[in-house]
Amino acid sequence: MAELKRSKITAVGHFLPEKRLTNHDLEQMVDTDDEWIKTRTGIEERRILEDEDKASAYMAAEAAKEVLDQRGISAEEIDVIIVATVTPDYLFPATACLVQNYIGAANAFGYDLSAACSGFLFALTTGSSLIEAGTAEKVLVIGSDKMSSIVDYTDRSTCILFGDGAGAVLLEPSDDGTGIIDSIQHSEGDTNCALYQPAGGSLNPASEDTVAQRQHFIKQDGRTVFKKATEGMADVSLEIMEKNNLSADDVAWLVPHQANKRIIDATANRMGLSSEKVMINIDKYGNTTAATIPLCLYDWKDELDHGDNLVLAAFGGGYTWGAIYLKWGL
């Protein structure tokens, strides 16, 4: 049997809107305060895409263009575009097709992947499988979410959490032993709807009633999700370390989904990692859903060394959660 190829990340790009929504701004909008938000979540500000004619596809395309520039290749060379998002521009066509058009990736095919905050992690595993199987050589994996489009800015329990942004990576075959080595993915149907957007799908299509009841916004039972997320992210991070015989000393960096600093700290503690090995930028961007992990990789890319062991971990709506073990190949 032919040996499976391994894939590695060969470029990282990002897009963040200019507009900053600070905790002090939110104090003027809902009954909250800066200290509560910082203590409970670690967030100080988040970015908001204000242009009404721009959304997730635009941010994804800008991040993708940076990837192409960095790698010095043209868009025509891309084989596949996978966009992880819960805020697609339209229910259909796929955001990936809009991105293809924006960047001119005429030879690619693409599709969206919906796994909420685990979206980028699941998309990276999917893209990697396409390379391992020999189906593709250059795969753009993008996480992009305009969370401000589904956040209710009258609900203090959710509006403080989310921000807008996009991050993208290029996956290519690896021939130097670095790249994506292992991944674990889980899901568990959240039948109690602890985290969801009630309307806008086929069960509750948009109507005057759904709009009046503010059902096109995120609804979350924060405490329930917090408990599940803390358990899920820590468990799966340990699971991937044990499966690959990694000790805390072997792990150079934890790249966690940025939902709440307390969830990240609990995961790092369970893994036995000191805080210097944990990427945290939730203070600047909040929870950008599918974009948090690639935005971390972007912010830290100059500090990563070839061969560094990275553990990527996420938990999100669905529920969905998982981890990836990769050796940094840039």
Separation of alpha carbons 211 and 78, rounded Å? 40
Q: Residue 259's beta-bridge partner residues?
A: none
Residue 232 as a binder of ligand ACO (CB under 6 A): the answer is no
* Of 168, 158, 162, the residue nearest 146 (C-alpha): 162
36 vs 102, beta carbon nearer ligand ACO: 36
Question: Who contacts 195 (Cβ-Cβ below 8 Å, separation ≥6)?
Answer: 116, 218, 219, 220, 221, 225, 316, 317, 319
Q: What is the SS3 assignment for 166?
A: strand
Contact in structure between 13 and 67 (CB atoms under 8 Å): yes
**Least gap, CB of 115 to ligand ACO (angstroms):** 9
Distance of CA 14 to the CA centre of its chain: 12
Residue number of the CB closest to ligand ACO reads: 222
Q: Which of 23, 260, 287, 296 is catalytic?
A: 287
Return the residues of window 92-131 that contact ligand ACO according to CB under 6 A: 116-117
Selected binder of ligand ACO within 19, 20, 40, 71 (CB under 6 A) = 40
The residue (of 20 and 301) whose beta carbon lies closer to ligand ACO is: 20
Residue 223 C-beta: closest distance to ligand ACO, Å: 5
Minimal distance in Å, beta carbon 258 to ligand ACO?
9
Candidates 150, 127, 160, 140; CA nearest to 39 is 160
- Span near ligand ACO by CB under 6 A; candidates 17-25, 91-99, 257-265, 277-285: 257-265
Closest to ligand ACO by CB, 160 vs 312, is 160
CA 241 → CA 181, 184, 185, 195, distances in Å? Answer: 12, 11, 14, 28
List of residues 6+ apart from 302 with CB closer than 8 A: none
**Which of the ranges 121-129, 156-164, 170-178, 241-249 carries the binding residues for ligand ACO, by CB under 6 A?**
156-164
The DSSP secondary-structure symbol of 162 reads B
Q: Are 174 and 5 in contact (CB under 8 A)?
A: yes
Of 66-74, 196-204, 236-244, 258-266, the segment contacting ligand ACO by CB under 6 A is 258-266
Selecting among 14, 97, 117, 296, the annotated active-site residue is 117
Closer residue to ligand ACO (CB): 100 or 289:
289
Cα-Cα-Cα-Cα torsion 113, 114, 116, 120, nearest 10 degrees, comes to: -10
Annotation marks residue 306 as catalytic: no
User: Do the beta carbons of residue 139 and residue 170 sit within 8 Å?
Assistant: yes
Q: Which of 24, 19, 66 is nearest to 44 (CA)?
A: 24
Q: Which stretch binds ligand ACO (CB under 6 A): 15-23, 36-44, 104-112, 293-301?
A: 36-44
* Catalytic status, residue 193: no
Site for ligand ACO in 170-229 (CB under 6 A): 195, 222-223, 225-226, 229
Using rule CB under 6 A, residue 290 touches ligand ACO: no
Q: How far is the CB of 27 from ligand ACO (least distance, A)?
A: 9
The verdict on whether 159 is a catalytic residue reads no
Catalytic residues: 117, 257, 287
List contacts with ligand ACO (CB under 6 A).
32, 36, 40-41, 116-117, 156-157, 160, 195, 222-223, 225-226, 229, 259-260, 263, 287, 289, 316-317
